Amino acid sequence: MLSKKTKYGLKALTFIARSTSSEPVQVGEIAKGEQIPQKFLESILLALRKAGILGSKKGKHGGYYLRKDPSEILMTEVMRVLEGPIAMVPCVSLNFYEKCDDCPDEAACSVHKLMIQVRDSTLEVFKNTTLKDLSDR
């Protein structure tokens, strides 16, 4: 299940990408426009900034802005920041690999093989979708 955090994060990024103003977009605006609890949204945007996807400016006329063109922001990157690993099990994760404690032999594990296929097909979608695709109507 997609977390609210991710859902809110994607909506916020789309909102920012659609902004025509030259000034940064403020959390309050996004929260109001997308019906997201403001304080919760703050923490999400902060995470996106720490990951290098967003930039920010403090104080009056401050806010958040994209660090790259929407067409260069891949869903792989965004989803990993917001939702974490794309794989459904750590033992098939490319970026967050961890061995299962229970599985003696990964190559022989039936779940393993299936989850690799799911990972690859999901990855294919995220790799071919950018923020621009989301924000174009």
Partner DNA sequence: GCATTTCCTATTAAATTGGTAGGATTAGTA
Partner DNA sequence: TACTAATCCTACCAATTTAATAGGAAATGC
Where does this chain bind a copy of itself (CB under 8 A)? 1-2, 7, 10-11, 14, 35, 75, 85, 88-89, 102, 108, 110-111, 113-115, 117-118, 121-122, 124-126, 129, 133-135, 137
Q: Which amino acid appears at position 9 of this protein?
A: G
Q: How far is the CB of 90 from DNA (least distance, A)?
A: 11
Residue of 18, 34, 51, 56 interacting with DNA (CB under 7 A):
56
Written as one letter, the residue type at 33 is: G
- Alpha-carbon gap, residue 135 to 137, rounded angstroms: 6
128 class by beta-carbon count within 10 Å (0-12 exposed, 13-18 middle, 19+ buried): exposed
Strand segments, DSSP code E, in the chain are 54-57, 63-66
Per CB under 7 A, 5 contacts DNA = yes
Q: How far is the CB of 125 from a copy of itself (least distance, A)?
A: 5
110: which residues sit within 8 A by CB, 6+ positions away?
none
The answer to the question of residue 32 lying near DNA (CB under 7 A) is no
Which 61-90 residues touch DNA, going by CB under 7 A? 61-64
Beta carbon of residue 86, minimum distance to a copy of itself (angstroms, whole number): 10
Contacts of 11 (CB under 8 A, 6+ apart): 34, 36
Residues of the shown chain interacting with DNA in the complex, contacts defined by CB under 7 A = 3-5, 8, 26-28, 37, 39-40, 42-43, 45-46, 49-50, 56-64
